[in-house]
Amino acid sequence: MGRVVIEYRFVISLGLATIVGTVGLHVWPFPSQHPLLGLIAVNRPVVFAGFAYAYATASFTTPFLLINVMASFAYIFVARADRTVRRLPLPLYPRPEQRDQLFLILGEQHRRTSVLPSAEPRWLTIPERGLYTGIAIIGAIGTGKTSACMYPYVEQLVGYRANDRARKVGGMVLEVKGDFCHHVRELLERYGRGDDYIEVSLDSKYRYNPLHNDLDAWPWRDDDDGVHMWTHWAKDVEESLVAAKVPFQVVGSKTDEGEVEKAA
Ligand SMILES: Nc1ncnc2c1ncn2[C@@H]1O[C@H](COP(=O)(O)OP(=O)(O)OP(=O)(O)O)[C@@H](O)[C@H]1O
Ligand SMILES: [Mg+2]
C-alpha cells in the first residue's frame, strides 16, 4: 500500500492539492472587500484582476508544492528503508562454439566504484578488437595465473566456432615449461579439433632449425675492441631454441655445443 502511494506520489499530490485549494478558496476567499484592494479595483482594474488570479492559482500550487516535497522526503527516507534489492543472476554463460562474435570473457563485472556485488552482474569481456593487442597476466607463484586465466581464456579461443572451418581461431603457443601445449591439445580434442594440433619438435614432421639460416656466422662483432661476441651468439641460439620449444638443455649463458649440433 505504502509503496503504491510512493509510486504514484505525483498524481496523489495533484489530487490532494486540488481538494485543499478548493476548500481553501471557500474558507478563505479572495479578500476583494478589503479597502486597499477596493481602491486598486477602482483605479487599476487589471492589477486587481491579476491579484485575484494569482491568489486563486497560489491556493492550488502552494499545497501541491508542499505535499510533493513531503512525498519526496517519504520516498527518500521511508521507501528506501524497506526497498528490497532483487539480485539478478549472471546471464547464461555463452558457450564458445555458439558465440556469434569473437570475444573473451575474463570474469564477472560488478560495481565499478565499490567492492560490492552488483544487482545486475554482467560478464566482463574483451571484444575481438581488443584481442589483437597483448594481455599480461601478472601474479605471484601459484596464484592461479594458469588455472584461472590461461586455461579458460585459451579454451574460449580454441572453442570459438570450433565447427566452423572459416571462422575458428588458430594460434601459436610458445612456452618454456612445456606442459601448456598438452593442455591445448586436450582442449582441441575436446572441441573436435584434434587434427589442428601441430607440434614443432624433433619428433614431429614439423621441425625448426634456428641454425639453418643465411646469416653470417660472425654477425655480432664489437668494432671497438674486435672481440667476437660469442656470448651474444650463444644467448640468441638459446632464445631461439626455447622459443621453438626444442627440448635441449641450455646451461647458463653458454649453450651446450653437443645439443646445438643435434638440433642442427
Ligand atoms: N581460486 C583458486 N582456488 C583454489 N585453488 C586454486 C585457485 N587458483 C589456483 N588454484 C590452485 O593453485 C595451484 C596453482 O595454480 P596455477 O598453476 O594456476 O598458478 P600459477 O600462477 O600459474 O603458478 P606458476 O606461477 O607456478 O605458473 C593449482 O593447483 C590450482 O589448482
Ligand atoms: Mg602457471
Instruction: Take residue 177 and report the three cell numbers written for it.
Output: 615449461
Question: Per-residue pLDDT for 260 more than 60?
Answer: no
Residues 105, 107: Cα–Cα separation, whole Å: 6
Cα distances (Å, whole numbers) of residue 226 to 38, 218, 235: 116, 12, 19
Name the more confident of 32 and 260: 32
Instruction: Give the closest ligand to the alpha carbon of residue 151.
Output: 1
pLDDT in tens, 13-52: 899 999 999 999 999 989 888 888 888 888 998 999 999 9
Residue-by-residue DSSP string for the chain: -HHHHHHTHHHHHHHHHHHHHHHHHHHS---TTSHHHHHHHHH-HHHHHHHHHHHHHHHHHHHHHHHHHHHHHIIIIIITTTPPP-PPPPPPPPPGGG-SS-EEEEEEE--SSSSS--SS-EEEEEEGGGGSS-------TTSSIIIIIIHHHHHHHHHTTTT-TTT--------SSS-HHHHHHHHHHHTT-GGG----SSSSS----TT-SSS-S---B-TTT--B-HHHHHHHHHHHHHHTT-----BTTB--HHHHHHH-
If you average pLDDT over residues 199-221, what whole number do you get? 72
* 87 three-state secondary structure: coil
- Name the pLDDT band for 94 (thresholds 50, 70, 90): very high
Q: Calculate the average pLDDT of the chain.
A: 81
The proportion of the chain whose per-residue pLDDT surpasses 90, expressed as a percent, equals 44
If you average pLDDT over residues 52-68, what whole number do you get? 92
If you average pLDDT over residues 97-112, what whole number do you get? 93
| The dihedral sign for the CA sequence 174, 180, 183, 185 | positive
Nearest CA to ligand 1 atom 31: 147
> Hey, where are the domains in the chain?
2-79, 96-196, 207-264
Its pTM surpasses 0.85? no
In this prediction, residue 38 carries a pLDDT of: 86
In this prediction, residue 253 carries a pLDDT of: 34
| Cα-to-centroid distance, 142 and ligand 2 (Å) | 7
Cα distances (Å, whole numbers) of residue 176 to 124, 146, 209, 238, 255: 29, 13, 17, 12, 16
| Cα-to-centroid distance, 110 and ligand 2 (Å) | 26
Question: Per-residue pLDDT for 259 more than 90?
Answer: no
The proportion of the chain whose per-residue pLDDT surpasses 70, expressed as a percent, equals 77
Ligand 1 site residues (CB inside 6 A) read: 139, 141-148
Question: Per-residue pLDDT for 85 more than 90?
Answer: no
Instruction: Give the closest ligand to the alpha carbon of residue 149.
Output: 1
Residues 160, 183: Cα–Cα separation, whole Å: 17
Nearest CA to ligand 1 atom 23: 142
